């Protein structure tokens, strides 16, 4: 936040500038709240907590929904693609440790199933075939 000195007759201008900056910050918070988060459906609270720990740098939140939990990550207007990539990478690493075969991920109005790669074959349902050399 910018620093303002309040002196003499210019103090009204300085106070107005502070008010405008506060209004801009509140508008930014409203935009963040309006953007749909990346959400992951998790079967129980324990798994939701472990996923939230994995996603801690991204400020994840968990909420119970009809017999399962949703872990959400807000996608900020500034560089949401990078947050999606970081979140999916963390979810993928977490999924391998859970014993689950897959989880449902909701992002940008679409639902996707993220599968664990098979250790024996090294392939998963969504893996692309290797490119020709």
Q: Residue 72: which CATH number?
A: 3.30.70.600
Q: Same domain for 41 and 5? A: no
Token output for 94: 């977490």
**Total domains, the chain:** 2
Separation CA 19–CA 93 (nearest Å): 44
Residue 26 has pLDDT above 70, yes or no: no
Same-domain pairing of 23 and 53: no
Co-location of 40 and 30 in the same domain: no
- Is 74 in the same domain as 27? no
Check pLDDT > 50 for residue 74: yes
123 within some domain: no
Nearest to 105 by CA among 33, 36, 27: 36
Q: Output the pLDDT for position 17.
A: 56
Q: What is the pLDDT of residues 34-50, one digit of tens each?
A: 556 899 999 999 999 99
What is d(CA 105, CA 41) in angstroms, rounded to the nearest whole number? 7
- State the pTM of this model: 0.63
Shared domain for 51 and 106, answered yes or no, is yes
pLDDT of 125 strictly over 70: no
* Residue 41 and residue 29 share a domain: no
Q: What residues make up the domain containing 20?
A: 1-34
Q: Is residue 128 assigned to a domain?
A: no
pLDDT for the residue numbered 72:
93
Residue 132 within a domain: no
Q: What is the pLDDT of residues 101-111, one digit of tens each?
A: 999 999 988 99
- Position 117 pLDDT exceeds 70: yes
Tokens (6 digits) for 130? 């290797």
Long-range Cβ contact pairs of 85-89 (< 8 A, separation 24 or more) = 86/57, 86/58, 87/38, 87/55, 87/58, 88/38, 88/114
């Amino acid at each position: 936040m910018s620093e303002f000195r309040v002196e003499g007759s210019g103090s009204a201008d300085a106070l107005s500038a502070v008010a405008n900056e506060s209004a801009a910050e509140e508008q930014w918070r409203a935009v963040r709240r309006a953007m749909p988060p990346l959400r992951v459906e998790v079967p129980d609270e324990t798994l939701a907590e472990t996923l939230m720990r994995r996603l801690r740098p991204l400020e994840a939140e968990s909420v119970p929904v009809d017999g399962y939990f949703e872990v959400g990550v807000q996608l900020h207007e500034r560089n949401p693609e990078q947050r999606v990539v970081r979140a999916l990478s963390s979810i993928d690493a977490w999924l391998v440790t859970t014993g689950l075969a897959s989880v449902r991920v909701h992002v940008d109005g679409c639902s996707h199933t993220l599968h664990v790669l098979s250790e024996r074959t090294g392939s998963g349902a969504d893996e692309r075939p290797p490119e020709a050399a």
